[in-house]
A and B are shown apart, each in its own frame.
Chain A
Amino acid sequence: MSLEVPDTTETDAVPERTPDELEALLGDLVIDRDDHLNAPGFVIRPDAVQETLSTLKSEAGYDHLSLVTAQEYENRYESIYHLKKFDDPTQEVSVVVPADKDEPVSESGEAVFRTADWHEREAYDLIGIEYDDHPDLRRILLPETWQGHPLSLDYDRDRPQIATLPEHANPLEDHHHDSESDTMFLNIGPHHPATHGVLHLKTILDGEQVIDVEPDIGYLHRCEEQMAQSGTYRHQIMPYPDRWDYISAGLLNEWAYARAAEDLADIEVPEYAQVIRTMGAEMCRIAAHMLALATFALDVNGDFTATFMYAINDRERVQDLLEDLTGQRLMFNYFRLGGVVWDLPEPRGEFFSKTRDFLDQLPGSVEEYHDLVTANEIFQMRTIDTGILPPEVAKNYGATGPVARGSGIDYDLRRDDPYGYYDELDWDVVTEDGCDNYSRLLVRMREVEESAKIIEQCVDLLEDWPEDERNIQANVPRTLRPDDDTEIYRAVEAAKGELGIYMRADGTDKPARFKIRSPCFSNLQTLPEMANGEYIPDVIAALGSLDIVLGEVDR
């Protein structure tokens, strides 16, 4: 939780380069320095993006493009490439690319990191920066016919807009077969039971095989970044993170904002509050993974009753605990900057015994899920060796969370970039090497057990915590005004992966730029890699195993 450029005393695998060494490595490419609180920042020319990124990737080992942030200043546009290492995410570097105010064009980083594709499309859509050499620079979140770029400074919100309802021709009509290639277009969504919300998949079929699938997102783009930019740091932003990943992962999301804002404003969180946070967050993770399991079984088995109901039943139990703790079932709004809003519910003993009861019955239900789902032969036939995502591809797309860990990438921010109370507790990072749909499900199910271990240790700690040391909140000023032009990017391990927040302060009590790095956004991008060449039902299974939440994909 240090504010300085992270040092790497705890790692030995990857040699750390000091910012000066990096600057020397990049040589003439660097035209200026613009350090962020979390990482050194190098300003480069807009036409040297690919060269810089590939030098950093191949020679300095920065193989994870976590986020591309775009923003508009009074005198320029700017894209920031936040780079990390999969081996050690505390080693970060920011590549800052300014672009001309009148003609904002910079080179695309897509050739070096595939994940830049969608990130740059989003930057183009919302800010209006154009990227040279980008393979497919279109709007991604807003309708194609939208006028203006809503997060640019001169955007007029009152102008009328037109959205189209493109008619996709009936696949059964003759003219829809392309006479030369004999393929067929199939439209899935945005209203479809298997898309987990309002995702739209444009698929091209050859027989029953998928030859191309293109996710079309933006049907739930509710301007989360704008909402956060118009709220004050202290209280007005915290309710929104609950609504990004709304599958009960609220506390995990709140933690992302809390962590970034606390580091930005230099707030120390009391240990007791960190333990409560850790416990609550892991309860959320269990609830989120239970729903992932429930809907995955629904997608693959079409089994609306048994597995779905079992998993929802377990979710209800966790939600009861969370409701006792926070007062709400789904949108908790429980964290505050510097701690949590209130202490554990009284009588504490009852809460602890309820939690322990839940933990006691959990191994039994996990066993049951293994009987019902993972040991099921039909389920195995559907999921083993389908939806293959090799680790190199996953890294190239910036996949994180259970999706990356199901491909054998040992990457978990709770351990690698510790926050909260995780580094004091005894638990393991779960990985599976199968790279297929089955592994991703197994990772989630085993993570539920690890989360239970964490909760149990937290309950033990909280039970014995001396009564006069139960400090739930640090002393935080009523109005926070971080220094002008401080920038920070911080991430936590949410249910779906690395959830990061970039914030730029401008000396007021509201962030000047608030950018969300959504794990689902990057994970969903891998779908074509997993689905192309597979059968149609495998696309549905792959999508289910990605466990996306459209609220977080579209933000």
Chain B
Amino acid sequence: MFNKTIKKIASEEAQSVPQGVSQWRLIKRKFLKNRLAKSGLVIIAILYTGAIFAEFLSPYHMDTIHDQFVQAPPQRVRWVDNDKKIHLRPFVYGYKKERDLNTFRVYYEEDRDIIFPIKLFVRGDSYKYWGLFETDLHLFGVEKPGTWFLFGTDATGKDLFSRILYGSRVSLTVGLIGVFLSIIFGTLMGITSGYFGGLVDNIIQRVIEVLMSFPQIPLWMALAAAIPPQWDPIFVYLGITLVLSLLGWGGLARQLRGKVLAMRKQEFVLAAKACGVSTPSIIVRHLVPNSLSHIIVIGTLAIPQMILGETALSFLGLGIKAPMTSWGVLLSQAQYVRILLHAPWLVIPVFWVVATVLAFNFVGDGLRDAADPYSI
């Protein structure tokens, strides 16, 4: 035990902070040492790339209905065909439809005679990329009339993989916008509360207390139900983000208040005051930058919470509405055991949810450890 302490002190000296390196560079250096956090960052980058290039990366348009292939299982990508011949280009087998004579249920079986090679840069459904220019180029896919459903299709015959990519636009931005809004609100409230103290502080703290004494999801449900269903989907989307951010600011405000309470008696703030710097300027130029690392950490850890919140609300039918889609909307199709037993691939979107939540948590934890670069 004693040895350990000595070692610790020794390593402390060895790692003593180099002179002339800015705090942000130190944070970056420490963050990049954390492998888990780094891999989280890579996953997040991949997910957002998928969302940005959704139309191009997905083989089909999200609304294309393949009415011949309703609830078709995923088509396996193969290299070796039935005659043990190895193909240089991966391919999928076509489907033939069968009907179970006992249950009258349609099921799909691979037709080993039909081969659709998977190609890069194929022409398929036309789309307007970001509403700017029209094209029908897709990164990969099979040529018509072939089909390739990487993750199968849903009950209306839409390609699940394409819908996951399109849906990530909603699911991944809800958290970002929501956190952005709640950070602005939380920072404002927390700093005001800590800096002024007294009555203002008291009122803000009581409001937070009331907000935090409700369980989150039932409150989100009540608020989400208040969004009129006849609204345009884009407004429903904005409404949901607002609902999610409305409850998220309390925790941040509380923590910032504590930090500001400690800071406002420190010399640099007193000096600024003595120099006649105005209060808004003290807040914006001195208090906010000094709490920024704190704000970023709390914000990063709040994003996965909001993503899970949106998923839950959409799953219950209180969130995002068609024609928009999100991971929660996709998962809501898997709501019944009966359906899940026949179409287990409908739960695939959950892997996206889990990957996102994990990645943000890793990054958030890494940031938290790095945020105070002067400690070891």
A binds B: no
Q: Which residues of A contact B (CB under 8 A)?
A: none
